[in-house]
Amino acid sequence: MRPFKYSKTSEASKAVSIVSGSPKAQFLAGGTNILDLMKEDVERPDQLVDITRLQINQVTTLASVGGKAGVKLGALGKNTEAANHPLVRQQFPVLSQAILAGASAQIRNMATNGGNLNQRTRCPYFYEVSMPCNKREPGSGCSALKGINRMHAIFGWSENCVAVHPSDMCVALAALDAKVEVQGAKGKRSIDFKDYHRLPGDQPEKDNTLEHGELITAIDLPGNSFNKSYYLKIRDRASYAFALVSVAALLETNGSTIRRASIALGGVAHKPWRAYEAEKFLAGKSATAENFRQAAELEMKQAKTLAHNEFKIELGVRAIVQALNQALES
Amino acid sequence: MREETIDPELTADERRLLEDLLHDENDDFSAAGLQRRNFLKQVMAAGGGVLALQLAGENNLLAQAVPASPSAVPPGTINTVKLSLKVNGVVRSLTLDSRMTLLDALREKLALTGAKKGCDHGQCGACTVLVDGQRVLSCLTLAAGCEAKSVTTIEGLAKSGKLHPVQASFLKNDGFQCGYCTPGQICSAVALLKEAKNGEASYVTKDLRTKGPVQLSPEEIRERMSGNICRCGAYPNIVAAIREVHEGKDAAQAWSFVEQTNHSS
Ligand SMILES: Cc1cc2nc3c(=O)[nH]c(=O)nc-3n(C[C@H](O)[C@H](O)[C@H](O)COP(=O)(O)OP(=O)(O)OC[C@H]3O[C@@H](n4cnc5c(N)ncnc54)[C@H](O)[C@@H]3O)c2cc1C
Ligand code: FES
Ligand code: FES
């Protein structure tokens, strides 16, 4: 690991001003991603500002917008606390499930809600510093495009990058239309979740729309009227592995009719992928296996596969159907 | 010539060994000046690594990692951090490089070698310890961030000479083979039992909306222990050991020593 200066602060504005003012400084939250990447020499900060002592770590009720109260997750709260908080378990069980499907108990005890959003891809070429990777070293090329790309994207990729976003939590947040609250040197702003992470385009080095030095302070979950939900994760082993495909499915039903669906997919794109085609198809239809299958096929028809990940299409169809079925039973 | 090119921070033993190993053609790189932190790497490059260390009768050298005083500034430290933390109930003061992980601090500075370095990347759980009562991975925790925290390692679980119930149950149920993963497994299991009591859910918990303690089925235990890999595959016995403590009843010991071995056939 390269040498770096370590400092800690309990003031958000101080953390922001240090990192904003220094191009190679970074925030240190749970450390489960950045320290790993520093050991691999992928991340090379010259300064880490430890933000774990910031007091923005609580789960609180969010004032209601049009009827239903939502929940605010402090950015420095731990993944374990978010998943187990009664407000989240009662109102947003799909988020609890998604968090609990990720990593291990030890890692979830360390990982923070903000850090989870900013974790970087697990593409092996990104990790291997001797190989070209546009995300790590812009302009060097994408080794995965013609390399081993079984784990890689089938939606929204570009010739420059076929990596996927690895988070489970973020898939549920995408389906829940969360908002990311951030504080920067120029002030505060709120980013819709769908606009938070980026597609690679010609700037795959940018995972999200945050500016250098901007701090995530909270993640807001607006109240909603979904009454059924499920998070399904398909992976190479039963637990403690990243998703091949995952699905966060939310349904608002009236009897056997689907009023509205919200579906997001993980493991398939550079950002959590909202299945808008499937959602549109399901609105107003009855909740039958046939409709679920058609919705899933409609969505997966948009996919563009690479040499080794064609299996993700059929897997994706089946995963969407199963997630919808399990949501219905919830 | 060599006297002045070798970093004065090297110990006498290190210097002697390096001189044995360096060939004339390596004078060039020694002229660049050696940092102590590069020392072992150079030894490896110069000739046969650990084998050479042993041949040269210098194996004591590797044991020097534990300094007499953990609060002295170690040679080669670049960004010095000073901190105090509680380890197994005792306040310890440390002076270390900002890069040092909690795992390395425990093992190299405090001589607590129970927590193991399996992967150093968060993938195996061998380094699991409890920080403020929570199970965490010490290999992905910066020691510098542990100021005023309370760390419990496998060495701190037994109380007044009596094994922690989870330790006793691992012994009784034969919850290991080589034992490398065991300190991490046991620390993890100790925390797991508390988490279940507190009603914390897992991915396989059926209904997230119900509250109260979780009854640990084998499926629940497997999911909750999935962050601890055992390359010996002692999983069935690990699950049995945890179950026994969770259920609070003494299961029959699953194994016994063979009293007499008869090789006469
Ligand atoms: C072995 C292993 C398996 C894993 N498996 C999974 C899995 O199956 N599913 C899954 O979803 N995840 C998985 N993870 C990833 C884990 O969830 C992330 O590493 C974790 O969520 C990152 O959070 P952190 O607080 O530790 O972030 P850090 O490592 O501290 O930071 C990550 C990045 O975010 C930045 N950052 C942190 N907080 C903020 C903030 N408030 N504002 C702005 N920037 C910030 C940091 O500067 C850094 O760049 C796994 C990790 C490991 C090591
Ligand atoms: S050594 Fe920490 S998880 Fe493997
Ligand atoms: S007992 Fe050998 S690794 Fe688990």
Rounded Cα distance between B246 and B190, Å, is 10
Q: What is the tens place of the pLDDT at every residue in B83-122?
A: 999 999 999 999 999 999 999 999 999 999 999 999 999 9
In a domain, B264, yes or no: no
- Alpha helix ranges (H) inside A224-301: 276-282, 289-300
Rounded Cα distance between B180 and B82, Å, is 31
Range B188-211 average pLDDT? 95
Of B72, B151, B125, B87, nearest to A107 (Cα)?
A: B125
**Whether residues B40 and B110 fall in one domain:** no
For residue B263, name the pLDDT band (cuts at 50, 70, 90). Answer: low
In a domain, B130, yes or no: no
Picking from B156, B182, B209, the residue at the C-terminal end of a domain is B156
The reported pLDDT for the residue numbered B20 is: 55
Shortest-distance Cα residue to atom 53 of ligand 1: B122
* Mean pLDDT of the residues in chain B: 81
The CATH number covering residue B201 comes to: 1.10.150.120
Decide if pLDDT at B63 tops 60: no
| CB nearest A4 (choices: B79, B137, B228) | B79
The CATH number covering residue B89 comes to: 3.10.20.30
Rounded Cα distance between A280 and A56, Å, is 37
**Whether residues B193 and B242 fall in one domain:** yes
The reported pLDDT for the residue numbered B6 is: 41
**Of A55-64, A93-102, A162-171, A178-187, the least confident:** A55-64
**Whether residues B53 and B104 fall in one domain:** no
The reported pLDDT for the residue numbered B74 is: 81
Specify the amino acid at residue A266. Answer: G
More confident residue, B72 or A17: A17
In a domain, B176, yes or no: yes
**Phi and psi torsions of B160, nearest 5°:** 40, 55
Report the nearest atom of ligand 1 relative to the CA of A27: 47
Q: Which residue in the block uniquely carries the two structure tokens 């607590």?
A: B112
**Of A120-129, A203-212, A260-269, B73-82, the least confident:** B73-82
Kindly determine whether residue A28 and residue B208, on different chains, have CB atoms separated by under 8 Å.
no
For residue B2, name the pLDDT band (cuts at 50, 70, 90). Answer: very low
Rounded Cα distance between A103 and B227, Å, is 8
How many residues are listed for chain B in this entry? 265
The reported pLDDT for the residue numbered A176 is: 98
In a domain, B131, yes or no: no
The reported pLDDT for the residue numbered B258 is: 65
Q: What is the tens place of the pLDDT at every residue in A187-219?
A: 999 999 999 999 999 999 999 999 999 999 999
Going from the N-terminus, what domains does chain A have, and what CATH number goes with each?
228-329 (3.30.390.50)
Helix (H, G, I), strand (E, B) or coil at B222: helix
Q: Given phi > 0 = left and psi -120 to 50 = alpha, else beta, which region is A178?
A: beta
Q: What is the ipTM of this complex?
A: 0.97
The reported pLDDT for the residue numbered B259 is: 59
| CB nearest A104 (choices: B195, B209, B227) | B227
Decide if pLDDT at A63 tops 60: yes
Range A246-254 average pLDDT? 98
Least CA distance to B142: which residue of chain A? A31
**Of A26-40, A171-185, B41-55, the least confident:** B41-55
The reported pLDDT for the residue numbered B53 is: 42
The reported pLDDT for the residue numbered B66 is: 54
Rounded Cα distance between A152 and A295, Å, is 23
Of A247, A264, A267, A239, nearest to A103 (Cα)?
A: A239
| Domain of residue B107, residue span | 80-119+138-156
Report the nearest atom of ligand 3 relative to the CA of B233: 4
Report the nearest atom of ligand 3 relative to the CA of B179: 1
For residue A100, name the pLDDT band (cuts at 50, 70, 90). Answer: very high
For helices B36-47 and B12-21, angle between their N-to-C axes, nearest 10 degrees: 30
- Using a pLDDT cut of 70, give the percent of chain A over it: 100
| Residues of B with Cβ-Cβ distance to A93 under 8 angstroms | 208-209
In a domain, B185, yes or no: yes
Helix (H, G, I), strand (E, B) or coil at B94: strand
Give the count of beta carbons closer than 10 Å to the beta carbon of residue A42.
18
Decide if pLDDT at A18 tops 80: yes
Contacts of A3 (CB under 8 A, 6+ apart): A46, B78, B79, B97, B98, B99
Burial of A130-139, coded b for 16+ CB within 10 Å and e otherwise, reads ebbbbbbeee
Decide if pLDDT at A227 tops 70: yes
Residue B135 C-alpha, separation from nearest chain A C-alpha, in angstroms: 5
Residues of B with CB under 8 A from a CB of A: 78-79, 81, 97-99, 101, 120-122, 125, 128, 134-137, 140-142, 144-145, 147, 188, 191-192, 195, 199-203, 205, 208-209, 211, 222-224, 226-228
The reported pLDDT for the residue numbered B253 is: 60
Q: What is the tens place of the pLDDT at every residue in B20-30?
A: 544 443 443 34
Question: Measured from the CB, is residue B177 less than 6 Å from ligand 3?
Answer: yes
The reported pLDDT for the residue numbered B9 is: 58
Ligand nearest to the CA of B119: 2
C-beta of residue A181 within 8 angstroms of C-beta of residue A188: yes
Per the structure, how many domains does chain B have?
Answer: 3
Decide if pLDDT at A284 tops 60: yes
The reported pLDDT for the residue numbered B83 is: 97
The reported pLDDT for the residue numbered A32 is: 98
The reported pLDDT for the residue numbered B158 is: 97
* Mean pLDDT of the residues in chain A: 97
**Whether residues B180 and B233 fall in one domain:** yes
Check residue A141 and report its DSSP letter. Answer: -
Whole-prediction pTM: 0.88
Decide if pLDDT at B199 tops 60: yes
